[in-house]
Structure 1
């Protein structure tokens, strides 16, 4: 009788251990699934807005890439032009310049008044 009671208790023990292991499997997955559903529900509105703005974002990205390419090309051309300008010899200026315009007239009129 004690032996039969021992076997029954050990079978109950094995059954309970097996039940705990099996319950851990689906309870964890249920918790994870609940989290994923909550995540999707929370971010569903953001996802819909993202889908609405997707064509705009792609268009903006292509414009930015085109602008970057234009900038790189312009920068390259500018560097080449700067190196060409630096390589050119600057001709020395022979004349020291001449007076023209308003200042020349003022200076000339002062000289005439002093002479007269």
Structure 2
């Protein structure tokens, strides 16, 4: 019963850490998406207010910035998928290590 409770506690702690990491990732990606919408307008707004550029230039700069940044942002948008892939690779590596240990034990038992 004690072992079962310990396994449940470990699973619950793992789930809690997973939920916290997912929440933090969602905050980051949402903030990132909103920031890239505001940043280019904020960068050229002083030039507009000093009447060095027209209003259409702000829209052009926002569009160009979003197009270029969208291409560079692939990693941010796919971070959750990349993390899931990494977790699968880690589990497969652990499984491979377990198979290696099991086969070595099996060979040792056959020789002994």
TM-score in same-fold range (> 0.5): no
Taking structure 1 as the reference length, the TM-score comes to 0.38
Taking structure 2 as the reference length, the TM-score comes to 0.39
Find the structure with the greater CA-based Rg.
1
More helix by share: 2
